[in-house]
Structure 1
Amino acid sequence: MLGSIGTFFAERFRRWLPDSYIFALILTLIAAVWALFAVDVGPVKIAEAWYKGFWILLKFAMQMVLILVTGYAIAISPIASRFIDWIASRIKSPVWVYASVIFVGQIFSMVSWGWIVLTAVLARELSTRVKGVDYRLVAAAVYASFLPWHGGLSGSIPLVLNTPENFLIKADVLTEIIPTTLTLGSPMNIVINLALLFTLPMLFMMMRPSEDKLQTFDDLREGDAPTKPMTVEEEADSLCLPDKCISDMLNASWIISGLVVIMGLYIIVSHFYSKGFDINLNIMNFLFIILGMMAHKTPIRYVVAMKRACSNVSGIILQFPFYAGIMGIMIYTGLGKQVATSLAAATSPGSFPFVAFLTGGLLNIFVPSGGGEWAVVGQPIVEAAKTVAANTGMTAEATQAFIAKVSMSVGYGDSWTNMIQPFWTLAFFPIVAAGSSLQARDIMGYTFVAMLWSLIIFGLGVTFLPM
């Protein structure tokens, strides 16, 4: 029954929701009109505020791009392929395919949101090796494994908060960074992630269809399409000239990459040795770049991997300036402070995290990017959290923890409604759906059920669990 309900809503969302870029434009107009009537400013000042903000997230946008492509590049490396083969060789039953894909996939997502690609490879391998696997359900498990990503090492909001000179500090919304010990390392985040990790596999095992309704990979396969695409190594080798030459020798030189990797490892070890569990966007991106170089060994293989990874970043590059423009309207017209004041007046320390969660979930339908969404609501949400904390007499330390909790709640909301917003299927569908007739709407009914279940976990977590 839940699967049928999910399919019903998924079909309607597919019909009603245009491309996410359209929503970036619509939200820009909404913010402009809102400021025109809610704040004492004219159209000229609104336009100037929009343009002033348009460029303030260029660094942040590049950091988001690198988080995705560097994680993706590692996920398609030979060492990752061998690891997937090792896992796949040990799973023989369809029911364990569903459980394993979503369990392992959640762990991958906690490392990097770009590693959903690795989960897609695992799902495809298992579905072609084990008979009786419903390919729609296993593809849905890949997407549902994305649910804990914002509480993981590549979560946009906690990494932004811990990055020096982030856009909230530059806008004087925050005076200092908020360490990851208060976000990623908090009891709330740990309990929520563990609850998702162990309950989602059971949920997907219970959703498996009966044999008469199975649709395997072979059922969805189109013609004689290959089950495996060309590997990075094979593509790199195909670029070599027929005869030996200096350019190919340099492209394939593991010594050049190795020397740079050694230098990079020194920086990484020094950072964590001196600063402990201090993870921000810069060090995560640098870590993934160095690991990617190690995983692919030669420069040309890493170039090929990054080229493949960059095919998924067009949405970020196009839309982030418009998110920044919305942020500019919020900051430079005073609209953001007014929104923050209204939120603070209508909520309490106990209810505000759940309100922030719902806000993140609603906005994610229109702005399907954790980083982009935070650019839009980060300023008013943090301002409101500060006001609520001040009204209730919180200490500076308690205020910082409260801001961390509210910010993470927005991140959970973003992860939550991904299950009915198919935007990020773009990140893994080129792998999981290659050579088949599988479409995003084929999986959204199952992910809707996952969304209903995760609402309980997220809702109880942000409301009752301590930071």
Structure 2
Amino acid sequence: MMSTERARETAEAQGAMARLALGFTAWAERWFPDSYVFAAVALVAVAVGALVMGAPPLAVAKGFGDGFWSLIPFTMQMAFVALTGYVVASSPPAGRLIARLAAVPRTGRGAIAAVATISMLASLLNWGLSLVFSGLLVRALARRAELRMDYRAAGAAAYLGLGATWALGISSSAAQLQANPASLPKPLLQISGVIPFTETIFLWQSMLMAVVLVVVSTAIAWMSAPAGEKAVTAEEMGVALEGAGSALPREKLGQAAGEVQAKRPGEWLEHSPVLTVLLVLMAVGWLGQEMSRQNPIVAISNLNTYNLAFLMLGLLLHWRPRSFLDAVAKAVPATGGVLIQFPLYGAIATMMTATKGADGHALSDRIAQLFVGLSTAESFPLLMGVYSAVLGFFIPSGGGKWIIEAPYVMQAANDLQVHLGWAVQVYNAAEALPNLVNPFWMLPLLGVLSLKARDIVGFSFLQLLVHAPLVLFMLWALGQTLGYTPPVMP
């Protein structure tokens, strides 16, 4: 471990902003409860709000029960996004790719910039893939002692996919939900209609924002990374790079657990690629039909299609079912928060939209009226962005929080005649901001890196200081280039 004197020198070198971030994280780790508690508090607050508006207690209870299981399909879909990303990232071919990528950088700062770019680009495909793949890449780079790479700054760079770009990519919970009418709660569907990817993540305004964030975030990661003697390596932090969380050593790359010879006849199929080949061939045949009969963008916007493609890719990359199943078992804990919290979000959404007060209006109507009263079509993206970012500190779930916000946000967007797809992207870009300092989504990455949140948040806080004004400005400026289109019902 680092000596007390070295730790003091490191803290001084980080500057006032990083010390502030370290203080914030220490406070958050001490006082912030689990995110489930925030979801439960939000549910109670909505119930109290409905009662204050004059809703009968039995109506509030009915809204709770009716909505509790309303998001089961979407809950399972989001759990599979996390699971499939982990499985793909931990496959033997991914390990070989990590080894090749880790051999490229020539300096510690260059390595950190590379991690930042790869993390953000991977997150546009799958946020789970981004976390695990980037974490394993950091560990592989840390083994190159000649780089003298700051391990904390590299960890923060690996987290940029979740803190900058993931919600602008195809695993965006809000965009996926709005593109899938079968997953949308009926009250929300009646307000927003179906919004395809072409009106959300594939808008040129959204893609431009993603490009800007990748370039700016990579530059900040490079400039803020300590170099030379100021860099703190994994070894100096006492991190064992060949432990359970590490990638496979170079000499064992490609030797997956599933490649061990079966010891009993019953294990033969577990260690044979026969079933893998048959399953993947059937999946490829089905996916080919889906892509040929409709626009590929429309096809991949279906969460079931997206998850099937990633699941089969993970199976193919692991090659043998035993290796695949071992990876799935390791990925399951990352889905726990989704499985236990999304029923509460479903209950909240139903209570907000279906439980009427004494005047015949739901709580979502009242909040929508407040948004309309405080903003115009021009200022709505800025106001909503600030609101969504602040709420994200307390409800760190992209899909779950959208279920809560969407009914009144989309109603307000309709009333003000704001482009509905852009309203979704405003939410997406702003929702990612608090991820930069919120420990909740850091947990899978921190497990891979053997770090604590306080080790990386000083660097991610610097990113937040730049991202917040930049993102809010882009949301406002780019929003002026889009016009309103009425909701499209399925």
Same fold flag (TM > 0.5): yes
Distance in 2 (alpha carbons) for counterparts of 1:275 and 1:360:
34
Partner of 2:485: none
Distance in 2 (alpha carbons) for counterparts of 1:171 and 1:366:
22
Quote the offset at 1:269 in angstroms: 2.1
Partner of 1:142: 158
Provide Cα deviations, 1:92-121, integer angstroms capped at 9, x if missing partner: 211101100001111111110011110111
Of 22, 27, 50, 2:42 maps to 27
CA contact (8 A) 1:358 1:410 kept: no
Provide Cα deviations, 1:213-255, integer angstroms capped at 9, x if missing partner: 33210011257963864759544356x65x3x33221112212
CA contact (8 A) 2:39 2:341 kept: yes
Partner of 1:392: none
Q: 1:211/1:224 Cα in 2 relative to 1: closer, same or farther (>3 Å)?
A: closer
- Structure 1-normalised TM-score? 0.91
Establish whether residue 261 from structure 1 lines up as the match of residue 280 from structure 2: yes
CA contact (8 A) 2:188 2:406 kept: no
CA contact (8 A) 1:337 1:380 kept: yes
Distance in 1 (alpha carbons) for counterparts of 2:99 and 2:229:
29
Partner of 2:392: 364
Partner of 2:290: 271
Of 64, 67, 71, 1:57 maps to 71
Establish whether residue 403 from structure 1 lines up as the match of residue 431 from structure 2: no
CA contact (8 A) 2:257 2:322 kept: no
Q: 1:233/1:347 Cα in 2 relative to 1: closer, same or farther (>3 Å)?
A: farther
- Structure 2-normalised TM-score? 0.87
Q: 1:227/1:26 Cα in 2 relative to 1: closer, same or farther (>3 Å)?
A: closer
Establish whether residue 103 from structure 1 lines up as the match of residue 117 from structure 2: yes
Distance in 1 (alpha carbons) for counterparts of 2:44 and 2:185:
23
Which range moves more in the overlay, 251-260 or 104-113?
A: 251-260
Q: For 1:330, what is the secondary structure of its paired residue?
A: helix
Q: For 1:79, what is the secondary structure of its paired residue?
A: helix
Of 321, 340, 359, 1:299 maps to 321
Quote the offset at 1:29 in angstroms: 1.2
CA contact (8 A) 1:195 1:457 kept: no
Establish whether residue 77 from structure 1 lines up as the match of residue 99 from structure 2: no
Q: For 2:236, what is the secondary structure of its paired residue?
A: helix
Quote the offset at 1:194 in angstroms: 0.3
Of 377, 380, 398, 1:349 maps to 377
CA contact (8 A) 2:149 2:227 kept: no
Partner of 1:393: none
Partner of 2:251: none
Partner of 1:395: none
Provide Cα deviations, 1:299-323, integer angstroms capped at 9, x if missing partner: 2221111111112111111111111
Distance in 2 (alpha carbons) for counterparts of 1:464 and 1:302:
46
Distance in 2 (alpha carbons) for counterparts of 1:410 and 1:257:
39
CA contact (8 A) 1:94 1:133 kept: yes
Of 302, 311, 320, 2:333 maps to 311
- Runs of 4+ in structure 1 off by over 3 angstroms are 168-172, 210-213, 222-238
Establish whether residue 320 from structure 1 lines up as the match of residue 334 from structure 2: no
Provide Cα deviations, 1:170-193, integer angstroms capped at 9, x if missing partner: 654346421101111112211111
Q: For 2:337, what is the secondary structure of its paired residue?
A: helix
Partner of 1:452: 465
Of 61, 85, 88, 2:102 maps to 88
- Counterpart AA for 2:332: C
- Counterpart AA for 1:27: A
Q: For 2:287, what is the secondary structure of its paired residue?
A: helix
Of 122, 143, 160, 2:137 maps to 122
Q: 1:213/1:268 Cα in 2 relative to 1: closer, same or farther (>3 Å)?
A: same
Establish whether residue 14 from structure 1 lines up as the match of residue 33 from structure 2: no
Establish whether residue 376 from structure 1 lines up as the match of residue 400 from structure 2: no
Partner of 2:54: 40
Q: 1:223/1:369 Cα in 2 relative to 1: closer, same or farther (>3 Å)?
A: closer
Of 437, 454, 461, 1:420 maps to 437
Quote the offset at 1:386 in angstroms: 1.2
For residues 197-208 of structure 1, what are the structure 2 equivalents within 5 Å?
Answer: 197-208=214-225
Establish whether residue 431 from structure 1 lines up as the match of residue 444 from structure 2: no
The CA RMSD measured in Å over matched residues stands at 2.0
CA contact (8 A) 1:70 1:285 kept: yes
Distance in 2 (alpha carbons) for counterparts of 1:224 and 1:204:
22
- Counterpart AA for 2:275: I
Which range moves more in the overlay, 320-329 or 124-133?
A: 124-133
Unaligned runs of 5+ in 2: 1-14, 249-253, 356-361, 483-490
Distance in 2 (alpha carbons) for counterparts of 1:19 and 1:327:
21
- Counterpart AA for 1:135: Y
